[in-house]
Amino acid sequence: MSGALVTQLRDSLGKLETMTRFALATLALASGVYTYLGVRGLLDGTATIVFFAAIIYSAAVSVGIYAFWTYLMRLFPHVASASARAALLGVMALGSVMIIAMSSWLNAAALAGSAALEQHLAVTLQDYTSDLDRAHENALAAQSLLPDIQLASERFARLAAQERESGALTGTSGSGSVVQLLSQMSSQLRELEGSIASSRDEAQTLFETGQEHLVAMRSLVSASGAIEPRADSFAENAVMLAGVISAMEQTSVAPSVKRAAEDLSLGFIAPIADGGDLGLVDRQDRVMGSIQESVAAQSLVLSQAADDILAREPVAERRFVPMSSAEAVLRYAGDFIPSWAGAISIDLLPSVLVLMLAVAHAVLRDAERRLPYAERVSAADLIAAMEVHRALSGIPSAPEPEVDQQENVPAPAAARDATERPEAQTGAPSRVSDKIMPIVQAANPRTRKEGS
């Protein structure tokens, strides 16, 4: 790289100084504003206390971010050793983590807080919808027993009618003990059928009430406007819906069906045969034994079906947990990755500027080391070197130009120091003159003449 390019790069870095400060101040200010919006929802107290507390915190965050990145921009590009750079990189990583902890998540809360709260309400709504459906299914599970109970009741009633009209079971028509027993079993099954049917109506009423609460909650989730009042109304509907679900769990008739099924078998009481002759009495006893066996089998089937219903997992009690926008952003962070990326980028974008400056300064240092020594010397250095050479060689200095009395231009420090050194007083050559002699001879025409 030529000296002109090195000078151009050095000038470009100088011109970027103002823009770098402006960009850093703008990013720090933006981070402070979003931090204020995020932290305001976490503070409790009066409006005045919340306002001043949020302002102070956001101002501290802005100043801290600006100071941290300013220090790194001033120090990191000028550090050349690998160990020092590694240490500063560790400091940068630690500071970045601290900035994320004190600012970035609040920025994300300001950017996506309302959306995160709506996400929380939507997820809770899905859970309540599932709970209501499960509670309704559990409440109506006993309805599956209704066809079997109806068939058994109708069968007993039909046998009683046939026995009464034609004596289909005992061979003798009439309303005897067999007809009474069959009618009794049919009546008990009809009572059980009626209780199951009434529970269905109650469960359906509760389910419709729960659906109304779900519709209201769904409208609150999808409505526009501020999220806080909608969340409050959502919480009220959630409490009422939880009560509906709990009441629906109590409407299940499975325990009643199990008890009634056991009573059919254990509470079976056969009437005394009332036939007029011994043959009829014997036939009645056999028929009643068959009826008892049929009732026991029917009781076993109903009891097992009731056990299956009771074995279902009940719906656990659910409570709606309100949360702030910042908490919602943290809980549902995976659904708001772009907002998190933007919030973190506002705070950590200066790290890219730090690395760019570090690369530019490294290239500049490497290019300056590769330049010839004569191209690295400035005009002031050259003038000072010439004065030192004159002092060492005993050549009188050029007369100084006349200046105003008000001006006070001191002699070059390098020449003044050189004339005061012992080497200059004794005329002994020094190592400085050995280094600068070729440059002075090449730059001073008078020196070249005297040397020739």
**Whole-number pLDDT of residue 129:** 92
Which of 366, 355, 356 has the alpha carbon at shortest distance from 5? 366
**CA 108 to CA 228: how far, in whole Å?**
18
Token code pair at residue 166: 């034609």
440 pLDDT higher than 50: no
For residue 207, being part of any structural domain is answered with yes
User: Is residue 100 a contact partner of residue 347, using CB atoms and an 8 Å limit?
Assistant: yes
User: Is residue 16 a contact partner of residue 9, using CB atoms and an 8 Å limit?
Assistant: no
User: Is residue 339 a contact partner of residue 114, using CB atoms and an 8 Å limit?
Assistant: no
For residue 330, being part of any structural domain is answered with no
Token code pair at residue 161: 């009618």
For residue 150, being part of any structural domain is answered with yes
Domain boundary among 260, 289, 323: 323
Token code pair at residue 341: 């990326």
Q: Do 271 and 170 have their domain in common?
A: yes
> Residue 408: left if φ>0, alpha if ψ -120 to 50, beta else—which one?
beta
Which letter does DSSP use for residue 174 in this model? S
96 pLDDT higher than 70: yes
**Whole-number pLDDT of residue 377:** 63
Q: Do 292 and 438 have their domain in common?
A: no
Q: Do 209 and 66 have their domain in common?
A: no
Task: Match 């000072």 to its residue by tokens.
Answer: 384
Q: Where would I find the H helices in 267-336?
A: 278-310, 325-331
Which of 246, 257, 17, 230 has the alpha carbon at shortest distance from 132? 246
Burial class (CB in 10 A: 0-12, 13-18, 19+), 22: exposed
**Whole-number pLDDT of residue 277:** 57
List the single range of 204-213, 239-248, 281-290, 354-363 with lowest mean pLDDT.
Answer: 281-290
Q: Do 299 and 155 have their domain in common?
A: yes
Q: Do 422 and 362 have their domain in common?
A: no
**CA 404 to CA 354: how far, in whole Å?**
47
Q: Do 350 and 396 have their domain in common?
A: no
Q: Where would I find the H helices in 223-277?
A: 227-249, 254-266
**Whole-number pLDDT of residue 322:** 86
Q: Taking the CB of residue 61, how many other CB atoms lie within 10 A of it? A: 23
Q: Do 197 and 288 have their domain in common?
A: yes
For residue 385, being part of any structural domain is answered with yes
List the single range of 76-80, 115-119, 180-184, 232-236 with lowest mean pLDDT.
Answer: 180-184
Q: Do 161 and 237 have their domain in common?
A: yes
Q: Do 182 and 270 have their domain in common?
A: yes
In degrees to the nearest 10, what's the CA dihedral of 339, 341, 342, 346?
140
Q: Tell me what percent of the residues of the chain surpass a pLDDT of 90.
A: 27
**Whole-number pLDDT of residue 414:** 43
Which letter does DSSP use for residue 78 in this model? G
**Whole-number pLDDT of residue 346:** 92
**CA 326 to CA 452: how far, in whole Å?**
84
**CA 412 to CA 393: how far, in whole Å?**
17
Burial class (CB in 10 A: 0-12, 13-18, 19+), 68: buried
296-344: per-residue pLDDT in tens? 777 777 777 777 777 778 888 888 888 888 888 988 988 889 899 999 9
Using pLDDT thresholds of 50, 70 and 90, give the confidence band for residue 28: very high
pTM of the model: 0.63
39-86: per-residue pLDDT in tens? 988 888 888 999 999 999 999 999 999 999 999 999 998 888 889 999
Q: Tell me what percent of the residues of the chain surpass a pLDDT of 70.
A: 75
For residue 435, being part of any structural domain is answered with yes
**Whole-number pLDDT of residue 32:** 93
Which of 269, 312, 259 has the alpha carbon at shortest distance from 141? 312
351 pLDDT higher than 90: yes
**Whole-number pLDDT of residue 8:** 79
**CA 176 to CA 409: how far, in whole Å?**
143
Please tell me the total number of residues recorded for the chain in this structure. 452
User: Is residue 157 a contact partner of residue 166, using CB atoms and an 8 Å limit?
Assistant: no
**Whole-number pLDDT of residue 376:** 61
Please tell me which residue, 251 or 430, carries the higher pLDDT value: 251
User: Is residue 82 a contact partner of residue 12, using CB atoms and an 8 Å limit?
Assistant: no
For residue 184, being part of any structural domain is answered with yes
Give the range of the structural domain holding residue 152, as residue numbers without chain letter: 116-323
Question: What is the mean pLDDT of the segment spanning 80-103?
Answer: 93
Question: What is the mean pLDDT of the segment spanning 4-10?
Answer: 75
Mean pLDDT, the chain, whole residue set: 78
Using pLDDT thresholds of 50, 70 and 90, give the confidence band for residue 125: very high
List the single range of 38-42, 172-176, 436-440 with lowest mean pLDDT.
Answer: 436-440
Quote the number of domains for the chain: 3
1 pLDDT higher than 70: no
Q: How far is CA 108 from CA 96, 103, 116, 345, in A?
A: 16, 9, 10, 11
**Whole-number pLDDT of residue 157:** 81
Burial class (CB in 10 A: 0-12, 13-18, 19+), 16: middle
Q: Do 315 and 259 have their domain in common?
A: yes
Q: Do 278 and 385 have their domain in common?
A: no
Which letter does DSSP use for residue 76 in this model? G
Q: Do 177 and 208 have their domain in common?
A: yes
Q: Is the dihedral of CA 227, 230, 236, 238 positive or negative?
A: negative
For residue 280, being part of any structural domain is answered with yes
Task: Give one DSSP letter per residue of 137-148, joined into a string.
Answer: HHHHGGGGGHHH
For residue 111, being part of any structural domain is answered with no
Using pLDDT thresholds of 50, 70 and 90, give the confidence band for residue 406: very low
